[in-house]
């Protein structure tokens, strides 16, 4: 019976949780970095102005950074969506496996299945 596929539901659920956590970490990390970059631009751009507003010479840089940061957010969103989708697929796999195991146990207990399933009572 070495050719049987073995499923460790707890390990799969744990990994799904880790995928969800990494997605959240990526989102929070990017948001934190965006704040740092925007703050640095504002600080640098207003350093030599009397009224504290961003100097006009920095406006093109601000627009370019906004575009780059927007694309970075889109890319991170694609990655985090994939991570969360993969986590959901793993949870679905575990649920389907558990359902199949319950059906096999019911079949064994009713006499329909001749080979004892893993979850059947002794």
Domain that holds residue 87: 9-107
- Listed in sequence order, the DSSP H helices in the chain are 9-46, 59-110
Residue that wins the pLDDT comparison between 109 and 55:
55
Q: Residue 69 corresponds to which tokens in the numbers above?
A: 């940061």
* Residue 119 pLDDT class (50, 70, 90 cuts): low
Domain assignment present for 120: no
Query: How many domains does one find in the chain?
Result: 1
Q: Establish if 21 belongs to a structural domain.
A: yes
Query: How confident is the model at residue 105, as a pLDDT?
Result: 83
In a domain, 121, yes or no: no
Asked, for residue 116, whether it belongs to a domain, the answer is no
Q: Is residue 36 included in any domain, yes or no?
A: yes
Q: Output the domain CATH number for residue 67.
A: 1.10.287
| pTM of the predicted protein model | 0.75
When pLDDT is averaged across residues 29-55 and rounded to a whole number, the result is: 91
User: What backbone torsions phi and psi does residue 50 show, to the nearest 5 degrees?
Assistant: -75, -35
How many whole angstroms separate alpha carbon 71 and alpha carbon 47? 28
d(CA 52, CA 84): 42
What are φ and ψ of residue 84, in 5° steps? -70, -35
Is 122 a domain residue?
no
């Amino acid at each position: 019976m070495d050719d049987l596929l073995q499923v460790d539901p707890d390990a799969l659920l744990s990994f799904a949780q880790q995928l969800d956590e990494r997605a959240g970490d990526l989102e929070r990390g990017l948001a934190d970095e965006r704040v740092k970059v925007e703050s640095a631009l504002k600080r640098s751009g207003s350093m030599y102005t009397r009224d504290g507003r961003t100097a006009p010479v920095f406006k093109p840089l601000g627009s370019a950074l906004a575009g780059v940061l927007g694309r970075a957010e889109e890319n991170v969103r694609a990655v985090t969506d994939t991570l969360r989708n993969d986590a959901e697929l793993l949870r679905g796999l575990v649920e389907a496996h558990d359902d199949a195991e319950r059906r096999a146990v019911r079949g064994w207990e009713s006499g329909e299945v001749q080979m004892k399933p893993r979850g059947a009572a002794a």
